Structure 1
């Protein structure tokens, strides 16, 4: 199953184990079980601390395997073959069950161990989803730390009947004790906070008691991370409050244009951003969504949690999110056939008909990727022609299972409990046409995360924060950087540079005032 290079790397990683591990596999006579058996044999060969026991059939999903400490039966379970993006989840589970400590703050580990109740998590994934491993790894860690927590990764492509029965149209999707828990990317902190109902109130009190910062950054994407590093290097009291560290980068698959980094993936890049910030004396406050900005000699930022943070200067780096098409059915059928990440959710539509809305680079790239998985792709563009790069358009035109409709407006997405089609209107003649399909991928650009600032500082007609050459906003002591501002060309490298510039401007403001 594993090539020689992967076997060598695995063996090197597993040397960090300090305790024996038992893997119990439930197999049958299918090709998928044969592949799993071969994988487990390779794992057993990689470490003398690992033993593998095979059973045939039984109450567990087949094929699947569980990673346990000797004498225990509550370790993480993998239903399906954890390859692709999930191979890292497998390695981490082996290490943690084998005694290697996770890189998580001690306070969070203690919170997990103290959770009172029985929690049976099931997370449905696709092996091409770059958001899924974070959720799988978080749940696995919880299962290792607390014997009353169980975690099972389920490969949607292999257990297609469960996908249909539970009407799962997007991954990752998590069930807790048989009931829907959540979908999409979730961090370990988010999951723990959701099951620990009193955590939010405790955290809000702790945040409100903090002393004022010299620089408070709101938003944890590339702009926010760069601002935090540059501010901290000046030796001033720096804090960063973010809903999720990494921001939109977490939803980006391939990054090939960040200078000096030839190629990487969004989640890896986001992790590197956070690690760089943590290298300095920066107070990182995760899972914090800003609610209001109150200007003054000390600027106040009110959070959705009820906490209020104070600072001499504030840098807003709240970024942007996927733009909605705002037609009937979009919100009602989100994650029920309406999706925004073709890399994550595309495999769930194997052999089905889908539409991609948007003819820019993102839309055409999505259509090309999906065409290799699904039965048919309909690409819908509002303009009279596609706006993607010509090289992408040539590739698109070469695909036999793609239809392009231009000068068309999507007017509705239809379906009851899942998408069954959409309607488009010809902008030239006015005729409406129905397209029958099972999935819709929206790729029409970004909208800045600035609604909470309306009426507080100057915004452009597109909702972007108006800034000058130094990142200064219309409000004294408040700066902004990145995709949420009027700075043109929304790129990671530009956002990072803007964040650094805003931090230097804030520091200059502090020493002059």
Structure 2
């Protein structure tokens, strides 16, 4: 199962175990059970502290087959993997082994205490796919919580392996998390976000803590590449710096492969986002995660930012780096069937549509790449492009057109998403050449039509372009003195990670220059002296 290099690396990790790890494997005679046992055998070969016990009464014990549970003698830990945690989830397995084996987690002490203090009975079930880069954050967060708090149980389920269960629960997006049998959440969630949803008093405590904070010299709103860079550059100047982000890492967290980050031939979004946060934390930066900005209040000397929890932060300068999100079609049925067949991440959700018919909306690079990837999984792909021709690179178009299970529709405007009340059943598009409406029966729709800046909350406060982007000059200065902006939320062309990094640095240096100039003695006062 594991190659020599992976086993060598795993052995080095498992040397950090401080207590035994007991694995209970629920298996049958099926091929997947044999594959899982082979994986577990490789793990036991890497550490004498890990043992495996086989059980063939999974149904009677209430366990999925194949699955395996992790625990440690004398500890009350309920942590289970149903299926094979390979692909992106292999890291989740390694961390689960380490944490079950007593290796301390890399988590702020106050968050650990908050998890341990949760009272109640929490049974979590997370459906993941091995190709989903968003799933590991959720799986790892809930696994850790299950290790820290005996009231929390977690089962991570490979949706592709338990297809009947996925169909019965109509899981059409990963990660999907159930709590005590009810949907708890969908999409990427970190430990802090999950705990905040469980701990009803967390928002009020955050608001109180924020209200007591001193004024910042630079307050960065947003924690993506632009925001992280701005924070590092400001902190290195020795001035009081804060970062308030709805989710640290931003859209990079949803990015699969990154192959154009100069000097790094290949990396993945979550890995880069973690590195960005780690770099920021090396400096004296006040990081406020899970904080949604709702209003900017400019002032003569101080700028105030109000947040959804009711708190406000005050700063001499503000850098807006709120990024962008996937653009929606804004047609009837899209909202009703989001995560019920309407999806935005083909890498994450594609495996759930194996053998089904899907559509991809958008003929740019992202849309054509999505269609190519999905064609290897689903029964049929219909690509729908508004313009008269595809806009993707020629090499991608040639690949797409070579696939036998792909239909390409141009000059087509999607007008409605259809469903049966539970899930998507089709869509309607308008032939822009004839004006005819055409119905297409399918089970999934992947929307790939570009980005929308996260700037709605800034209307009336700073100048925005007709596309909703923050208008900035060559220095990152907005229409409001002391307020700067950087990254995908601005009018700077070419929305690329490397450009956002540079723009974040520029905005931070401009903010520092503004602080110096605004604090310099007035010319009249110098002459009088």
- Shared topology, TM-score over 0.5? yes
Using the TM superposition, give the Cα deviation of residue 75 of structure 1 relative to its aligned residue in structure 2, in angstroms: 2.9
Using the TM superposition, give the Cα deviation of residue 57 of structure 1 relative to its aligned residue in structure 2, in angstroms: 2.3
| Structure 2 CA distance for aligned equivalents of residues 354 and 321 of structure 1 | 22
The answer to whether residue 29 in structure 2 is matched with residue 29 in structure 1 is yes
Using the TM superposition, give the Cα deviation of residue 288 of structure 1 relative to its aligned residue in structure 2, in angstroms: 0.4
Q: Cα deviation per residue 1:189-241 (whole Å; 9 max; x = unaligned)?
A: 00000000111101110011100000000000000011001101111000000
Q: 2:87 maps to which residue?
A: 84
For 1:375, which of 368, 376, 379 is the aligned residue?
A: 379
Q: 1:2 maps to which residue?
A: 2
Q: 2:513 maps to which residue?
A: 508
The answer to whether residue 122 in structure 2 is matched with residue 110 in structure 1 is no
Q: 1:493 maps to which residue?
A: 498
Q: SS at the partner of 1:452?
A: helix
Q: Cα deviation per residue 1:371-413 (whole Å; 9 max; x = unaligned)?
A: 0000000000000000000011011011111000000000101
For 2:73, which of 67, 70, 89 is the aligned residue?
A: 70
Q: SS at the partner of 2:114?
A: helix
Using the TM superposition, give the Cα deviation of residue 284 of structure 1 relative to its aligned residue in structure 2, in angstroms: 0.7
The answer to whether residue 97 in structure 2 is matched with residue 99 in structure 1 is no
Using the TM superposition, give the Cα deviation of residue 162 of structure 1 relative to its aligned residue in structure 2, in angstroms: 1.0
Q: 1:44 maps to which residue?
A: 44
| Structure 1 CA distance for aligned equivalents of residues 393 and 293 of structure 2 | 37
Q: 1:175 maps to which residue?
A: 178
Using the TM superposition, give the Cα deviation of residue 74 of structure 1 relative to its aligned residue in structure 2, in angstroms: 2.8
For 1:392, which of 392, 396, 407 is the aligned residue?
A: 396
Q: 2:222 maps to which residue?
A: 219
Superposed CA RMSD in Å reads 0.7
| Structure 2 CA distance for aligned equivalents of residues 71 and 282 of structure 1 | 40
| Structure 2 CA distance for aligned equivalents of residues 472 and 108 of structure 1 | 37
Q: SS at the partner of 1:186?
A: coil
TM-score of the aligned structures, taking structure 2 as reference length: 0.96
Q: 1:310 maps to which residue?
A: 314
Using the TM superposition, give the Cα deviation of residue 280 of structure 1 relative to its aligned residue in structure 2, in angstroms: 1.1
Q: SS at the partner of 1:41?
A: helix
Q: 2:458 maps to which residue?
A: 453
Q: 1:475 maps to which residue?
A: 480
Q: Cα deviation per residue 1:441-485 (whole Å; 9 max; x = unaligned)?
A: 000000100000001111000000011110110111100001101
| Structure 1 CA distance for aligned equivalents of residues 371 and 9 of structure 2 | 35
Any residues of structure 2 matched to 1:74-473 within 5 Å, and which?
A: 74-296=77-299, 297-415=301-419, 416-473=421-478
Q: SS at the partner of 1:76?
A: strand
Q: SS at the partner of 2:78?
A: coil
Q: Cα deviation per residue 1:473-502 (whole Å; 9 max; x = unaligned)?
A: 011110000110111111111111000000
| Structure 1 CA distance for aligned equivalents of residues 66 and 158 of structure 2 | 10
Q: Is the 8 A contact 1:75 1:97 kept in 2?
A: no
- Could you tell me which runs of 5 or more consecutive residues in structure 2 were left unpaired when the two chains were aligned: 519-529
- Could you tell me which runs of 5 or more consecutive residues in structure 1 were left unpaired when the two chains were aligned: none
Using the TM superposition, give the Cα deviation of residue 432 of structure 1 relative to its aligned residue in structure 2, in angstroms: 1.0
